[in-house]
Amino acid sequence: MLNVNDILETIKMIDEDCLDVRTITMGISLLDCADSDIDRSCEKVYNKITRLAKDLVKTGEDIERTYGIPIINKRISVTPIAMLVAASGGDPVKYAKALQRAADTVGVNFIGGYSALVHKGFSAGDLELIRSIPRAMDETENVCSSVNIGSTKAGLNLDAIKLMGEIVKETAELTAYKECIGCAKLVVFCNAPEDNPFMAGAFHGVGEPDCVIHVGVSGPGVVRAALAKVDKTLPIDEIADIIKKTAFKITRMGQLVGTEASRRLGVPFGIVDLSLAPTPAVGDSVAHILEEMGLEQCGAHGTTATLAMLNDAVKKGGVMASSRVGGLSGAFIPVSEDAGMIDAVTTGALSIEKLEAMTAVCSVGLDMIIIPGDTTPAIISGIIADEAAIGMVNSKTTAVRVIPAVGRKEGETLTFGGLLGYGPVIKVNRNSPEVFINRGGHIPAPLQSLKN
């Protein structure tokens, strides 16, 4: 049970250590909005979202005032739109604009689900939606897109990986006039979770209820502050215990907010995602947590080991605090959104190869990484393939959200502002994987997929 002391301790974390609820995300099923007429379907989509989410923003603000807990974002995730395109046909961008119109009406900052699931191949609607992603990201402000191109059970769809390399590059070029922002709203997954409250990868899975509330909490600053107070000679297993206890407290706050939002909105409470999601603000960095453990700078030898321990301890602490832990739940390492990661890339301590190694033990993958604008689609596809292979073989979620910075070269900077931050253009390996990517086909599922 929650008590007054728990709440007061949490308030101290909020005041001093950048603790917040990063998002409350309402998941909404749009399966009953399918229609053979795309215009009718879009109107159904708009009507259902605005009906169910009309009080979402106000409820989040009311909970903020009641408990003094900052709730930074209020968001919506919906059924993968490719499923609706399969029924209606027509230009999928109409759905993107319907989602944008709904987001504007209810006041959320992002709406996710302009998505397709193609890990075993393309079904009706998938190719049309994927090919429309660049236009959709250009013609909307708050719509996010994701494509799942592989899983441990299915293997990797190399045809989809090739296509997504081209789509990422096209999206960057089409939105170059606004700092290539389209690519910051587009993520390519392996083993995508169906209950993820974080953008850009949130969508409402087909196994979810008709409407549900998920909560994403975030507290890198709280963990860093806890470690800053301990002796530098403390054994690493005791450091793990401190992280677990801190994650427990953070998760309890998320449980409180989720329970209260569920009650006030009259919809089921889904999961708490206790991912440590950093921001560009000083003191709110996952990289700085690793440095508190004893690294001179993030990227040094030992970085992957410290990150593995951090991720494991966060999960263990969260699971003890709530039976509703889900989503991604661990440590995020988005370069442009983390002050310590930005510094490490700028000084050369952190390379894309080291980041790839780190993704084998953290929550997601190569996230918010800015690459040279002249990077070829084949190289982007190779980056996606490598990251997806890590997820497939390790039975974990991995993702790629890279931004080809059109007109910029290694060492220059791209700036988004807000939580998306800014970052230096990182060096990529220029040796081409084009012959491999062009083979197409399907990389078979690994032996560990045979668990039945």
Residues 371 and 293 in one domain: yes
How far is residue 64's CA from residue 261's CA, in Å, rounded to a whole number? 11
Please report whether residue 197 resides in a domain. no
| pLDDT of amino acid 92 | 97
Residue 12's pLDDT band, with cuts at 50, 70 and 90, is low
Kindly state whether residues 334 and 425 are assigned to the same domain. yes
For the record, the structure tokens of 60 come out as: 């989040």
pLDDT score recorded for residue 183? 96
- Name which of 31-45, 325-339, 437-451 the model is least confident about: 325-339
CA-CA distance, 51 to 40, in Å (whole number)?
Answer: 16
**Mean pLDDT estimate for the chain:** 91
| Phi and psi, residue 147, nearest 5° | -135, 125
Residue 17 lies in a domain: no
| 255 and 182 in a common domain | no
Q: Rg (Cα) of the chain, in Å, rounded?
A: 21
Give me the mean pLDDT over the 435-442 stretch: 96
Give the pLDDT of residue 397: 93
H-only helix segments in 408-452: 434-439
Q: Do 175 and 231 reside in the same domain of the chain?
A: no
Q: Look at strands 110-117 and 143-151 and give their pairing.
A: parallel
CA distance 94 to 143: 12
pLDDT for res 10: 62
**337 lies in the same domain as 236:** yes
In a domain, 205, yes or no: no
Which pLDDT belongs to residue 293?
93
Instruction: Using pLDDT thresholds of 50, 70 and 90, give the confidence band for residue 219.
Output: confident
Mean pLDDT over 104-130 rounds to: 96
CA-wise closest residue to 186 among 139, 147, 219? 147
Tell whether 186 and 224 lie within a shared domain. no
Taking alpha carbons only, the member of 146, 138, 165 closest to residue 375 is 165
Question: Residue 17: is its pLDDT beyond 60?
Answer: no
Q: Are 251 and 272 in contact (CB under 8 A)?
A: yes
3-state secondary structure 312-381: HHHHHHHHHHCCCECCCCCECCEHHHCHHHHHHHHHCCCCHHHHHHHCCCCCCCEEEEEEECCCCHHHHH
Looking at the fold, whether 118 and 158 belong to one and the same domain comes out as yes
Q: How many domains in the chain? A: 2
Q: Is residue 441 part of a domain?
A: yes
Residues 235 and 298 in one domain: yes
Domain assignment present for residue 14? The answer is: no
Identify whether residues 377 and 264 lie together within a single domain.
Answer: yes
CA 347 to chain CA mean position, Å: 26
What per-residue confidence (pLDDT) applies to 433?
Answer: 97
Confidence check: pLDDT of 283 > 80: no
* Residue 7: pLDDT over 60: no
Closest CA to 84 of 142, 141, 119, 41: 41
- State the average pLDDT over residues 151-161: 96
Query: What angle do helix axes 38-52 and 93-106 make, rounded to 10 degrees?
Result: 20
Domain that holds residue 339: 213-449
Q: Is the domain of 280 the same as that of 314?
A: yes
| pTM metric for this prediction | 0.93
Q: Is residue 202 part of a domain?
A: no
pLDDT tens digit sequence for 231-258: 889 999 999 999 998 888 888 888 888 9
Least confidently predicted of 141-155, 327-341, 436-450: 327-341
Averaged pLDDT for residues 333-345: 90
Tokens 């510094």 belong to which residue? 343
Can you tell me the mean pLDDT for 293-315?
Answer: 94
Range of weakest confidence among 21-25, 75-79, 220-224: 220-224
β-pairing, 398-405 with 20-28? unpaired
* Distance in angstroms (rounded) separating the CA atoms of residues 55 and 414: 36
Q: Which of 184, 65, 25, 45 is nearest to 105 (CA)?
A: 45
Give a yes or no: residue 264 inside a domain.
yes
The pLDDT of residue 265 is: 94
- Whether residues 249 and 158 share a domain: the answer is no
In the chain, helix, strand, coil percent, each to 5? 50, 20, 35
Closest by CA position to 385, among listed 254, 189, 217, 230: 189
The pLDDT value recorded for residue 181 is 94
Residue 385 located in a structural domain: yes
Same domain, 251 and 333: yes
Confidence of residue 449 (pLDDT cuts 50, 70, 90): confident
Q: What is the dihedral of CA 337, 339, 341, 344, to 10 degrees?
A: 150
Residue of 353, 400, 417, 430 lying closest to 183 (CA atoms): 400
Q: What is the CATH number of the domain that holds 276?
A: 3.20.70.20
